Amino acid sequence: MSKRLRLGIIGAGRIGKLHAENIAYGVPAAEIAAIADVNLSAEMEAWARGLGIPKVTKNPEEIIKSDVDAVLICSSTNTHADLTIAAARAKKHIFCEKPVDMSAPKVRAALGEVKKAGVKLQVGFNRRFDHNFRRIRETALSGAIGDIQIIKITSRDPAPPPVSYVRVSGGIFLDMMIHDFDMARFQAGAEITEVYAAGAVLVDPEIGKAGDIDTALVTLKFANGAIGVIDNSRQAVYGYDQRLEVFGSKGEARAENDTPSSVRVSTREGVTGDKPLYFFLERYKGAFVAEINSFIDATLNNKPVEVTGEDGLADMYAALAAGKSLREHRPVTIAEILKDEGAA
Amino acid sequence: MSKRLRLGIIGAGRIGKLHAENIAYGVPAAEIAAIADVNLSAEMEAWARGLGIPKVTKNPEEIIKSDVDAVLICSSTNTHADLTIAAARAKKHIFCEKPVDMSAPKVRAALGEVKKAGVKLQVGFNRRFDHNFRRIRETALSGAIGDIQIIKITSRDPAPPPVSYVRVSGGIFLDMMIHDFDMARFQAGAEITEVYAAGAVLVDPEIGKAGDIDTALVTLKFANGAIGVIDNSRQAVYGYDQRLEVFGSKGEARAENDTPSSVRVSTREGVTGDKPLYFFLERYKGAFVAEINSFIDATLNNKPVEVTGEDGLADMYAALAAGKSLREHRPVTIAEILKDEGAA
Amino acid sequence: MSKRLRLGIIGAGRIGKLHAENIAYGVPAAEIAAIADVNLSAEMEAWARGLGIPKVTKNPEEIIKSDVDAVLICSSTNTHADLTIAAARAKKHIFCEKPVDMSAPKVRAALGEVKKAGVKLQVGFNRRFDHNFRRIRETALSGAIGDIQIIKITSRDPAPPPVSYVRVSGGIFLDMMIHDFDMARFQAGAEITEVYAAGAVLVDPEIGKAGDIDTALVTLKFANGAIGVIDNSRQAVYGYDQRLEVFGSKGEARAENDTPSSVRVSTREGVTGDKPLYFFLERYKGAFVAEINSFIDATLNNKPVEVTGEDGLADMYAALAAGKSLREHRPVTIAEILKDEGAA
Amino acid sequence: MSKRLRLGIIGAGRIGKLHAENIAYGVPAAEIAAIADVNLSAEMEAWARGLGIPKVTKNPEEIIKSDVDAVLICSSTNTHADLTIAAARAKKHIFCEKPVDMSAPKVRAALGEVKKAGVKLQVGFNRRFDHNFRRIRETALSGAIGDIQIIKITSRDPAPPPVSYVRVSGGIFLDMMIHDFDMARFQAGAEITEVYAAGAVLVDPEIGKAGDIDTALVTLKFANGAIGVIDNSRQAVYGYDQRLEVFGSKGEARAENDTPSSVRVSTREGVTGDKPLYFFLERYKGAFVAEINSFIDATLNNKPVEVTGEDGLADMYAALAAGKSLREHRPVTIAEILKDEGAA
């Protein structure tokens, strides 16, 4: 492998472009050799040229079959598993946006191919690379807060997605809370063993009609004895609310939201500060950069990736358990889901 | 009734003394006519004299049969219900420390006598009068945060009680989380309809051997559709951790811990601030004063009390439901508890 | 001296009443034997009775000549020096509200009598006993922030006093900033050696017509080499702004304002918190109690008082220097003021 | 002028490289046509190639005489004025790092040439573009805090520069506080009319031997009647301390330091948060990007630049006044400096 990693990107939508720009402008250790998108346009070609990407194509196979060292799979979710399999067979290292697939068997099939090929696969759970959440994990790993006992995650979007999206999203647990399941497992340093989900339709009745909920509280039990809770809302009118609290035998670490400025204004009416950064692209701006750097570092220097395909699968099982818990109105173990899924 | 309320206090332990001093030093609208304690001592008599309390006795009946307008029942829990009944029959207004009894039927019996007598009864859930939590409730009532959707309560003690106490405490839900059930109902402005409890023994295995847990996460559903979660730990090594967050359709209100000072010290090692106030007597100092003032105001001016016997009963049902949920590992409705208790 | 200190209070205005109530309700080690006020009224007598003060009189001499151990001088400023002298001659310990007098020679004369009599004299600079500022001083004394280099004091009133008061107040430096000079000396652990004052009339032109300023910035030099700055405004519309920052060779300690609650409300409009406590009686509530306790402790246990007459005099010299600096538009040393005052 | 601005950069030291990278990676509206550095090295050439800069040279003249639209002057201070003059004569727009020169007459000469040529000149006071300080200025301009009355600036470096640098730096006022004079003028929306400087050598006696001070407090008066204070220290051991407070007739706006994360850790020992970002490159990272964007926008779209040569000159006069004030131990007006400098 060359000292500079040669990358191909598949999918030039919002997230593919984001990664491309982060790499072009901020990752000297990598170069983008090609980018593919089924909806190739003149505008996209101009954008790619601007970034110095030499090749643009409609066909992802061209990239997979080229001499790149690794591919970034940023296309639509339904293509992830097949592209992962194809890339693995072509012996390319893989960064795949989450989720690898909406069906657990397909994910397992893809992971099997990855294993067989001996390539690296990192799944795009970017929040693990967030400066605040990472600082908490490092604090816990340092022993400063002792054994972890309670994990609390708040994760609320600024506004609900269109109902048309909700309908095909896989539901709040697979679409939104899956990030939080991943964060919970990351922070606990242990697997989730059981979940109990309480949910409600409080934001928009149309979401309820679409068969989903928009507000959820999920209780977690972890293999190391810790317990946890995640709360999700599709609408926090004050902005993107992303907080975390890890409580242990020797202390607690807590992250507040990031804000555009530190300014407080005091007037007769009160003391006012900034709202949280409004959207995930702003809030996790640095996390996206760190995530890609981590993948490139793992690939170039043959280190383990920081978010594995198995992580993605475990997160999905937690989401499936939460869905079943909500439907059946009882706590559901991950072991039960593994059985359901023919994975145990 | 005289314009200045004449009070008798039954029980001169920690909490009875606290109320006595708060009234003597801070409530011009009331006077303490007498205080009773079964363990009457010379020291206690001297203390009472110092506060200008004219009469000290071993016998609570002397107080109940005297010409006081109201009694404060601060004796041991197992005497609360009988004293409440006796006081009600003597037509005294009653402030009773929580809980009225550990048995729901006895509580109901006591509430029946109170109703028959037409006297006022306020139960000692002091936290409703805390400056932070009250500010949040006022914010919600003002409409500023819209319809309430999620309530999150953190309530952690600085250190566990002796295991001998744990054994007779009724368990974490009746002993500790009952305050939080009351806070949850107060903040929701609605009754709890269902709970699900997750618990663990993470602080002290002896607590487990005593048949209790020391760490708990309880999910709540409310009659108005809101959902909530309470987390308890018997040991937060950094101090008494009492926080609240109410999230609604138009915003969120959040209370942090109170600290001894606002000072931050910046050194090479970091930026350090105060830990939370360490104990409930410091944290809820103002709440205890406000609570008694509220009772005296309600009594003198014939207003409704702010925490009723029915509140205490509802809090107890939530605690019983949490216990059953933990034992049976399933969500439990309050309706089910009412049936269990013969109350429905 | 009896184990319980017998006190007489001279002056039953706002501050005399405050001390009386703090002692009656919060200082078991002292009792108020008598209170005097030239404007004795039936209402005042009822109030004193309510506090259990056995004697009320129009004549301060009756108190000075009585068998009390100590007197609190809370009458109007122009009587302080004479009463201090009389009390000293009668061998009473003295707590005197600030300032001892508006004329330095009179203060020196009073201090001379106090010294001759060998009684204690504490001057009412209550802010030294504030929880925040005291914490900073303790931090500095612990060595945690190293040698003190810069002291910054913000001290702003919520609203200007009536211009009629401004006219007789002695000016912003003697009336308002004198508290900050005292704080600066306390925090520096060193005397002020030179000041430079910049001032402006920005709040109310009538204050300017009365010969005073309403906004001031005073630079300080201390005998230990540190430098400092105080800013005053007669009007901070958001409330009483009282902050302090001490910067040293090993770090910095900083105190923010106290607020009624810790609640933050997040809405579409922003994140809003409480304004500072509005008035000095609320902000320094605890400081007034601690101040009196300190005096009683010093007196009962023969310890040095924490704010001496010499402190009051040094604060006054700083204020006089600031006034001269403003008038003559140049830095002015304390040594120069001592010469002006015939004190050097 | 082409729609994409063609830039030449003179000087490829730390700051020249920073600008080059910011433009290459973050400013699509501009392209770097060439870069010059007297100490041209192979490493520098490789770095330039990596950024896609087509031309690298030792000779700044080559750039000035080329067809670029604008030059960025990032070479050593003693070359700024001459390069500015040469660039102006060549009709290039100019971004010049601060200061334009250490001698006011040379600055004025350069500004004269700029004016004659009709080109734009922006001086590199990057802090005006900081997210926090800009938010405060916008708040003030919105009227939310009324008329400005007091400005307080804290500006402390994490560690002192080498004494060898101090010796040629021009002194703390021209080297360090000049940024704060610029900030003060920016925030006041008015010119400084008078300064009074207090200074001390508290960090390192060697700085004193070099004829400079390391700790300073400067009082400011502004043409609009406001007053202000700046404090500088060459060593804040906890990191780069950059705060600002603007107080007005209707309120106050205050910026705290930025920190690497929002995490607070609570343990038995206390509650600890992050120190400020340690160095100016981190703290003002975004400001450097915004500054260059602003220059490019002004140049491409023929808008006024946000920091003019006249700003740089006025900041220098304030610094000179502070130096004179310190030496002569008296307040010094800007008018007096103008006379000294033959500029009035």
pLDDT digit string, tens, across residues B267-285: 999 999 999 998 888 999 9
Q: How confident is the model at residue B300 (pLDDT cuts 50, 70, 90)?
A: very high
Q: Is pLDDT above 70 for D191?
A: yes
Helix (H) or strand (E) holding C3: none
Most C CBs within 10 Å, among A235, A237, A238, to test the C interface? A238
Cα angle, residue C166 at apex, residues C163 and C168 outer, rounded to 5°: 120
Output the CA torsion sign for A62, A65, A69, A75. positive
pLDDT for the residue B270: 94
Is C203 close to D249, i.e. CB distance below 8 A? yes
Contacting residues of B for A231, CB less than 8 Å apart: 150, 152, 229, 247
| Cβ pairs bridging A and C (under 8 Å) | 47
The residue among A334, A138, A128, A136 whose CA lies nearest residue A218 is A334
Q: List D154's β-bridge partners, or say none.
A: D231, D243
pLDDT for the residue A343: 80
Which among C200, C226, C330 has CB closest to D225? C200
For D248-284, what is each residue's pLDDT tens digit?
A: 999 999 999 999 999 999 999 999 999 999 888 899 9
Chain C from 251 to 280: CB within 8 A of any A CB: 259, 266-276
**Residue C339: partners with Cβ closer than 8 Å, 6 or more residues away:** none
pLDDT for the residue A52: 87
Find the mean pLDDT for residues B291-308.
97
pLDDT for the residue D2: 46
Chain D neighbors (3+ CB pairs < 8 Å): A, B, C
**Residue D315: partners with Cβ closer than 8 Å, 6 or more residues away:** D98, D99, D125, D178, D181, D182, D185
Is B215 close to A150, i.e. CB distance below 8 A? yes
The CB-side HSE value for B7 (13 A sphere, CA atoms) comes to: 33
Q: Is pLDDT above 80 for D231?
A: yes
pLDDT for the residue B103: 92
| DSSP per residue, A3-40 | SSEEEEEE--SHHHHHHHHHHHHH-TTEEEEEEE-TT-
Output the CA torsion sign for C32, C34, C36, C42. positive
ipTM of model: 0.95
Lookup result for tokens 């190391």: A224
Q: Which long-range contacts (CB under 8 A, 24 or more apart) does B161-165 make?
A: B161/B234, B163/B204, B163/B206, B163/B207, B163/B209, B163/B210
Is A238 close to B225, i.e. CB distance below 8 A? no
DSSP strand pairing (D227-233 vs D215-222): antiparallel
DSSP code at position D67: S
**Token digits of residue A149:** 């006992």
For A39-81, what is each residue's pLDDT tens digit?
A: 999 999 999 998 889 999 999 999 999 999 999 999 999 999 9
Q: How many helices (H) and strands (E) does chain D have?
A: 14, 15
Q: Is pLDDT above 70 for D1?
A: no
User: What is the C-alpha separation between D153 and D216, in angstroms, rounded?
Assistant: 12
Most C CBs within 10 Å, among B262, B283, B284, to test the C interface? B262
Quick check: bond before B160 cis, omega within 30?
no
Better pLDDT: B342 or D121: D121
Count of CB atoms within 10 A of residue C28's CB?
Answer: 12
Q: For residue D19, which phi and psi values (nearest 5 degrees)?
A: -60, -40
DSSP strand pairing (D264-267 vs D93-96): unpaired
| DSSP per residue, C179-226 | HHHHHHHHHHTS-EEEEEEEEE--S-HHHHHTT--SEEEEEEEETTS-
pLDDT for the residue A2: 45
Q: Which parts of chain C sit beneath pLDDT 70?
A: 1-2
Which among D202, D229, D238 has CB closest to C149? D202
Better pLDDT: A315 or B51: A315
**Token digits of residue D59:** 């000779």
Contacting residues of D for B275, CB less than 8 Å apart: 266, 268, 270-271
Is D260 close to A135, i.e. CB distance below 8 A? yes
pLDDT for the residue B1: 38
User: What is the C-alpha separation between B321 and C342, in angstroms, rounded?
Assistant: 81
Rounded to a whole number of angstroms, the distance from the CA of D262 to the nearest CA of chain A is 5
Q: Is pLDDT above 70 for B293?
A: yes
Is B237 close to D268, i.e. CB distance below 8 A? yes
pLDDT for the residue D52: 87
Q: List B267's β-bridge partners, or say none.
A: B270, C251
pLDDT for the residue C2: 45
Is C200 close to D235, i.e. CB distance below 8 A? no
- Lowest-confidence segment of A112-121, B3-12, B114-123 by average pLDDT: B3-12
Find the mean pLDDT for residues A114-136.
98
Mean pLDDT (chain A) is 96
User: What is the C-alpha separation between D283 and D305, in angstroms, rounded?
Assistant: 23
For B221-268, what is each residue's pLDDT tens digit?
A: 999 999 999 999 999 999 999 999 999 999 999 999 999 999 999 999
| Cβ pairs bridging C and D (under 8 Å) | 104
Mean pLDDT (chain D) is 96
Give yes or no for D190 touching C (CB within 8 A). no
Widest Cα–Cα separation across chain C: 67
For A196-235, what is each residue's pLDDT tens digit?
A: 999 999 999 999 999 999 999 999 999 999 999 999 999 9
Find the mean pLDDT for residues D220-242.
98
DSSP code at position D13: S
Contacting residues of D for A26, CB less than 8 Å apart: 25
Cα angle, residue B219 at apex, residues B217 and B220 outer, rounded to 5°: 140
